[in-house]
Structures are given as structure tokens and as C-alpha cells.
Amino acid sequence: MPFLIENGSVIDGTGAEPRREAVAFADSIVATGAAALHWAADRNDVERIDAAGMTVMPGLIDAHCHITFDEPFSTDELFFHRREGLSAIIAAYNARKVLRSGCTGILDADCVFSVSVDLRDAIEAGITEGPRMAVGGNALFTSVGGTAGPLIPDEGRLGYSKVTRTRDEIVTEVRRQIKGGVDWIKVHVTGLIPRQRDVGEIQVWSMDELKAAVDTAHALGIPVVGHCRNASSTRDAARAGFDMILHGTFMDEEALEAVVEAKVPIVPTLTFQQLLADHGHKIGSNPTFQKIFEKEIAGSSAMLSRAWREGVPMLAGSESGFSITPYGEWHWLELQVFVEHFGMSPLEAISCATREGARALRKEGQVGTIEQGMAADVIVVDGDVSRDVTLLGQSDRLKHVFLGGRRVDIETPLPERGSIPNWRIGQYSTRPLTRDVAGEA
């Protein structure tokens, strides 16, 4: 059914000032302003929505979401307490929570088993409901490890990781994943080791190894994204031709110069750190982790802000998928981080989570803005989001969600979920950090 939303304040996602105008759409945006009213004038099949006092804007695009992880309380839980078939079923359930929160697109760059590829295809086929997805397979590691530290095996596949020990293994794994249908190749460029001494993490890939992954993927038309949480990794990923960088924290001047020269998009994903710093004590988090992540925000925001001001695209990511970042709760928070720590205006931050987010979906010029011909991924929020992006985090203010012009049911509760044997253990926290918990005294 076609829709006409009238009287709302339209944020189109381009960074332009809001306009009080109508928006007409079916599966794509038909027209805005007077043209939208004219298009709907003589039709009797159009559903009209009065959005007076509300914001009409593109749905959010979360460029760093782990839809297959199912909110583990520890890395051990994620690596040793997941089953492939059940992971797929639960991921489909959680994808509905993400969409119902107003997040109409996600990049899931790495996954357990090969669940994300299958979930993406099921959503696109209309078998289950969820946001638009771009996906990767298992993240490529070296045997030194990644953020899971010593849990990463010396060879083989475990959790969301695939260890590649030689150039031949790198090439083979990249080709295998592309044959399987991934949209991105993810490389864990940095990791943690015992008795860590470096700021952030340690780089565990050489430049030759990075180039092998990039050249192989690019030859087959697939982009590469890197997990980089120190200066040298960000510098080398940019120089090696990576298409996107997750985190990009702890940059020095040399790293900043490299990303500015390459104009490689960055997804800082400081939401996880912000939540731990602000609310970790409420959920039993390790105080040492809280201090580390608080320092990461303070020590990285200035450089990331400089990169953005020098033309490096910034995308919004939440790291949703852990107990600290439950699905459907915090996909909006990175916008507030950008406003508070990067000095962005709300409209600039919104563009990072809409128009710029289309890069993560590999759908630039197709989604992320409210303009004629763009996919009708639209949300309606009570209040003026152009002045206060935290309104996006108040579920009672989200009035409508449309994906490709189809109305999403955000009123009917999802079936209540029970416990599953041998699925949960505890470490990151004692309970999920929902907005209700964050609001506790």
C-alpha cells in the first residue's frame, strides 16, 4: 500500500536542515513536498499519516552489529556454547528486535559458523523479518590471536574466527568465503596477548599478509574491513587498501595521515566503551575493563574527530550482540557519542547513521536518505531529533517503521523467550544492560 506522511519535520539524511513537508512512498520514495501532495491528491489507495510534532527520517544503519552472537556474557560462552542450527534460529528472532527499534540496516562483518549469510538470504526471500543486511563470514585471524586472546586456536575455525597461518591459507579462505556469498571480508588486524604492553591492542598481521587478503578479495569484487585498535594497524590497513576500518582508535599522526589520504571510512564503535564507562558498575563489569574503555574514548576522540573534519567518512556502529549491547537497545547511541565527543551537530551525526551507513550495506545511492527514488526505509519519531538524538533511544517515541515501503509491526510483542540449556555462562556482566537498567539510580 502507498503511504503519504504529512506535517512532519523531514530529516532527509544528507545533512540538510529539516523541512516541514510531505513524503510519499510505496517501495521507494515517490516524491517529497508539494510533489508528494500532488501525487497523492487523486488516489484513493494511499494511507495518510499525520506526523505533526514528529520527525520523519531514514531508518538507522548500524555498521557494526553482531547478529549471530546472541548477547554472550563471555567470550568462552560465544566460542564453546553455540550450536549452528540454534544460532541461526535465534539470530532470526534477534533480527526482528533490531528492525523494530528503527534500525533498518546492519553490517554483520563476522559471524559464528556461516549463519549471517543464511540469515541475510532468508530475510531477502521474505522467509523471516529483519533489517537489510550486508555480511561477512568468519573473521580472518593469524595464530597470534584477536580480542579473544589465547582462546583463538593455532589453526582452524572456532567461534567467529578462522586462523590463517600462511599467504596460501589467506588466499584460500578469502576465496572460500566469497564463493559462499559474503558481502565483506573481515580481517582482525589487532588482538590481545598475555602481558599486553602496547596501547590498545597489538598488530598481528604484516603488511604483506594484509595485501594478500585485500588483493585477493578485490580481484573478486569484494571489499575488506579491518578490526584495528592501535595506530600501526590503522595506518597499515589504510595503506593496504582496506575499504573500511572498524574502531580506528589510538591513532597517531602517521595513522591519521594514512586514513585521510585514503579517505577510508571509519566505524569508531565507541558505544560499547561508553556503556561500560557509564553503566558497567550496575551490571558487575570488571572495573579494570571500565577504565581501559573510558581511556579509549578520551584518547581517541580527538584524532577521530580530526579525521572526520578532514573528509574521512564516519559511520555509526553499536557492537550490538553482547550482553553489554543487547539487540534493539543501543543502535542509536553512537550518534550521541559523535555529538558529545566529536563535536558533530545532531544532523551531522544522523547522516553518519543513514547516508554514510549505506556504504556498509554496499548500497550507496539506494538507501539512507529520503529522496526521490531511494528505498523507503523510513522511521517516524515523536519530537525533534534534529535537536536531540537521544529521542531515538526512547522506544515510546518510535511511532512508525517502514522497510522498503512495508510497515513493520512494532506494537505486537515478540514471543517471550525462555532459557536454553548450556547456552549461557557469565563474565562480561551479571545481566543485560538494557535502557531500564541504565536508568537505575
Q: If you average pLDDT over every residue of the chain, what do you get?
A: 94
Amino acid at 122: A
Which residue's C-alpha cell is 523541512? 19
Q: Mapping DSSP to helix (H, G, I), strand (E, B) and coil, where does residue 295 land? A: helix
Radius of gyration of the chain (CA): 21
Confidence of residue 433 (pLDDT cuts 50, 70, 90): confident
Per residue in 53-71, pLDDT tens? 999 999 999 999 999 999 9
| pLDDT recorded at residue 437 | 85
Of 352, 331, 223, residue with least CA distance to 275: 331
Torsions phi, psi of 226, nearest 5?
A: -125, 140
What is the full DSSP assignment across 180-201?
HT-S-EEEE-EE--TT--SSS-
92 near 121, Cβ under 8 Å?
no
| pLDDT recorded at residue 317 | 98
| Cα gap 90→395, rounded to integer Å | 22
| pLDDT recorded at residue 428 | 53
Q: Is the pLDDT of residue 290 over 80?
A: no
Per residue in 196-246, pLDDT tens? 777 779 999 999 999 999 999 999 999 999 999 999 999 999 999 999 999
Residues 6+ apart with CB under 8 A from 114: 137, 138, 180
| pLDDT recorded at residue 277 | 87
Residues 6+ apart with CB under 8 A from 423: 70, 77, 81, 82, 86
Measured CA distances, 30 to 2, 20, 370 (Å): 9, 17, 10
Per residue in 396-408, pLDDT tens? 999 999 999 999 9
| pLDDT recorded at residue 432 | 79
| Cα gap 441→431, rounded to integer Å | 16
| pLDDT recorded at residue 429 | 64
Per residue in 146-176, pLDDT tens? 778 788 899 999 999 999 999 999 999 999 9
Domains of the chain: 3-58+373-407 (2.30.40.10), 60-361 (3.20.20.140)
Q: Using alpha carbons only, what angle is made at residue 402 by residues 401 and 404, rounded to the nearest 5 degrees? A: 155
> Would you mind telling me the total number of residues written for the chain in this entry?
441
Percent over 90 (pLDDT), the chain: 84
Per residue in 361-376, pLDDT tens? 999 999 999 999 999 9
Residues 6+ apart with CB under 8 A from 344: 308, 338, 352
Query: What pTM does this model have?
Result: 0.95
386 near 347, Cβ under 8 Å?
yes
Helix (H) or strand (E) holding 380: strand 378-382
Confidence of residue 306 (pLDDT cuts 50, 70, 90): very high
Percent over 70 (pLDDT), the chain: 98
Per residue in 67-115, pLDDT tens? 999 999 888 899 999 999 999 999 999 999 999 999 999 999 999 999 9
Of 122, 212, 208, residue with least CA distance to 175: 212
